[in-house]
Amino acid sequence: MPVTRFAPSPTGRLHLGHAYSARVTRELAGGGTFLLRFEDIDHTRIRPEFYAGIEQDLHWLGLNWSGEPLRQSDRLDAYTTALEQLRQQGTIYPCFCTRREIQAELGAMAAAPQGPEGPLYPGTCRGLSSQQTRARLDSGDLPAWRLDSTKAAAITGPLSFADEHHGTIAIDPDLLGDVVLSRKDIATSYHLAVVVDDAFQGIDLVTRGEDLLPSTHVHRLLQALLGLPEPRYHHHRLITDEQGRRLAKRHDSLAIATLRERGLSPEELWERIGL
């Protein structure tokens, strides 16, 4: 019996895209378990009222989850432990670059490394010596921690993941480059927290939108490095607006709460997104 999860960030109310994702996730759980997880590590963007708002949206849609929702903000110790494991392994390195420095470095390169969502980190801090790192730390500079994707891939060897929708996908460890696993202001990142929590919650079928396919390359690598089980994946199609743009928090008019207030029923809402 599958264990699935719906993992919204409480940075806004749910919109039609979330409704689609939650419903697909609920249906794929079948007679198994459907869990709710709040991805709320970014305290600069979350708002307390959205936890209850999201729960209300899901109840109204008839999508009920098992047990208490997990909050990632309660799990920071687990992420620190995982990061420490990677540090011992030598697969992460401290990065002191500011956003502006990274932009400048990329601008000066003849061929900046490109990923599916734009330029990748140029690797500036990868080569810092331990003396240079110590000097920066001693002067009070706070680092982010980045995955050393080359070292990581050398340890894990070739990897792939199984996606119910897209088949078997061989991972490209460099697809997103040396991603941040622990931010300067938040001692973790989306990638690290997701991988640690999917294992913690026993998720064996990860369902989410196709926009996160590139992230799965990083997640599979992290699972292998941390010795965590490999879930199956189902990356579903995305719901778009009339212009074909992916739905985002800016689409207030397509928020479930707004549509409900306008008198739409859950059935009409499902029909609108082709379900």
Binding site for ligand GLU (CB under 6 A): 7-9, 39, 194, 208, 212
Question: Distance (Å, rounded) from C-alpha 33 to C-alpha 203?
Answer: 9
Q: How far is the CB of 85 from ligand GLU (least distance, A)?
A: 21
**DSSP codes, 28-93:** HHTTSEEEEEE----TTT--THHHHHHHHHHHHHT---SSSPEEGGG-HHHHHHHHHHHHHHT-EE
Q: How far is the CB of 39 from ligand GLU (least distance, A)?
A: 4
Q: Which of 163, 232, 180 is nearest to 203 (CA)?
A: 232
Longest Cα–Cα distance in the chain = 64
Q: CB count, 10 Å around CB of 12?
A: 20
Task: Give the nearer residue to ligand GLU in terms of CB position, either 125 or 179.
Answer: 179
Task: Give the nearer residue to ligand GLU in terms of CB position, either 146 or 235.
Answer: 235
Instruction: Name 94's bridge partners.
Output: 145
Polymer length of the chain: 275
Distance of CA 46 to the CA centre of its chain: 15
Task: Give the nearer residue to ligand GLU in terms of CB position, either 144 or 213.
Answer: 213
Q: How far is the CB of 67 from ligand GLU (least distance, A)?
A: 18
Q: How far is the CB of 37 from ligand GLU (least distance, A)?
A: 8
Tokens of 245: 């743009």
Task: Give the nearer residue to ligand GLU in terms of CB position, either 212 or 264.
Answer: 212
Q: How far is the CB of 219 from ligand GLU (least distance, A)?
A: 8
Task: Give the nearer residue to ligand GLU in terms of CB position, either 39 or 148.
Answer: 39
Q: CB count, 10 Å around CB of 155?
A: 13
Tokens of 28: 């794929």
Task: Give the nearer residue to ligand GLU in terms of CB position, either 94 or 214.
Answer: 214
Q: How far is the CB of 209 from ligand GLU (least distance, A)?
A: 7
Find out whether 38 and 48 touch, Cβ atoms under 8 Å.
no
Q: How far is the CB of 131 from ligand GLU (least distance, A)?
A: 38
Task: Give the nearer residue to ligand GLU in terms of CB position, either 149 or 216.
Answer: 216
